[in-house]
Amino acid sequence: MSDSAITDQEFALFQRLIYKIAGISLSDVKKVLLVGRLQKRLRHYQFSTFSQYYRMLASGNNPDELQMMVDLLTTNETYFFREPKHFDFLRDEILLKWRSPTTFRIWSAASSTGEEPYTLAMMLAEYLPNSPWEVVGSDISTQVLEKARRGHYPMNRVEGIPPKFLSKYCLKGVRSHADTLLVSPDLRKKVSFEHVNLTLPVDKSMGRFEVIFLRNVMIYFDMDTKRKVVNNLLPHLIPGGHFIIGHSETLNGLDVPLTAVRPTIYRKA
């Protein structure tokens, strides 16, 4: 079966569907990406048009396939110690000043394949050696969460990790796992991963956090979705807690109870 082309009308249907499910605004320039990523699903079902695949998704009878579509359209790039100024701030202004006996909790709300939560875990292990702590990672894609839980990465992913952290918190693969790295089991057991759709209210069982990282995901959202997502997360941030977004993002115009401390770093009133 040859690959199917997508019409403008069909693309518009998928734009509305991914917006409705995940709040993602898929611009017209993403048409090629959508076709490339979903083509294999059409082949899998032997569909000749995107309309057939859309009808199956929209019927509501195939939640697993709907999740598969979300996974395919939301996979995103990430790496260890990305945007290092945020981790410098975390160390200097938060962790080194932490004096409470309570468990220090951080939420990586768009954790992708896990590099950010494990970076946070290395920071906490290093700078809160005598305090209890916990990292929670969440994502809308079940596929990336599976990778994150394994904590197993190709060696070319580790460039940003300081050598001291690399030797202390990571294991180098040998034999059939040469050229790979495994986050140490001690660190992995203090990081949990949850399947969360940020556009929906977050379950109370998630608990509350001292810091929430929501980086490099709001670039996919329009203003209304940004406001909804931030308001879904804020009940889980303690008063005085920090909310950190990506360097290419802003909360300007959202009217949320956060005060800018530095560019892209906010504090809850």
Q: Is 37 labeled as catalytic in the residue annotation?
A: yes
What does the buried/exposed string (b/e) look like for 48-79 if buried means 16 or more CB atoms within 10 Å of the residue's CB? eebeebbebbeeeeeeebbbbbbbbbbbeebb
Find the DSSP H helices in the chain: 8-22, 31-45, 50-58, 63-74, 84-89, 115-127, 142-150, 163-169, 185-188, 223-233
> What value does the CA radius of gyration of the chain take, rounded to a whole number of Å?
20
Q: Is residue 186 flagged as an active site residue?
A: no
Q: Which residues contact 267 (CB under 8 A, 6 or more apart)?
A: 240, 241, 242, 243, 258, 259, 261
Torsional sign, CA 260, 262, 264, 267: negative
Choosing from 37, 82, 149, 227, which is the catalytic residue? 37
Residues contacting 31, CB < 8 A, separation 6+: 6, 11
**Annotated catalytic residue, options 105, 139, 188, 215:** 139
The C-alpha atoms of residue 228 and residue 269 are separated, in whole angstroms, by 18
Query: Where in the sequence numbering do the catalytic residues fall?
Result: 37, 139
